Amino acid sequence: MAGQVASALEYLHSQRCIHGNVGSRSVLVGGDLTAKLWGFGSAYRRRTQAVSPGEVGDIEMRKWQAPEVLGGKVFSQSSDVWSFGILLYEMVTLGDPPFTEYRAAELLQYLQRGKHLKRPTTCSNSLYSIIRNCSHWRTEQRLSMSELIRTLQAGEKSANGRKVLKVAQPLDIEKYLREAGYGEAYNYTVL
């Protein structure tokens, strides 16, 4: 499924579109496990390489946004790559929100100190490496979607069998929204 979402983003980027809202909430999964990326309202308003962060920033969850966007800079294809890394984290944790130990307002400072998402226990070293390659602080160091697709395909070929992940407990939506930082006021200080 990650490869399907990556392919959709690669296509958007080839059309000079930026999705700007990548996360599990933007992926529809069919009964045959086919993944479709949706939520293109903001993408169609962004038919350039970069746009103003205020345009749709108020409706998006902060913990999925790249640090440059959190700091008030423009959305870009590279910020989609950052959010795709967060989506991979969500996939391997079966939907855990990222950075649960931090409030959204604290996240930019955490990232400025060179910190990253912690490796989930259910995440292989190779997949965690991909997540980390999506989340470089410097945008030019992040992989392109084409590079991500090749890396995901190589990882899929070298996998030595599939592990089925099982949900440990039912989802508590209120807890999830709280941990994801939904509804938090944000007031970032850029150091």
Residue pLDDT, tens place only, 115-150: 889 999 888 888 999 999 999 999 999 999 999 999
Give percent above pLDDT 70 in the chain: 73
Q: What is the CATH number of domain 2-180?
A: 1.10.510.10
Interatomic CA distance for residues 129 and 134, integer angstroms: 9
Higher pLDDT, residue 138 or 42: 138
pTM: 0.78
What's the chain's average pLDDT?
80
84 vs 63, more confident: 84
Alpha helices in 15-120 (DSSP H): 41-44, 67-70, 77-92, 104-112
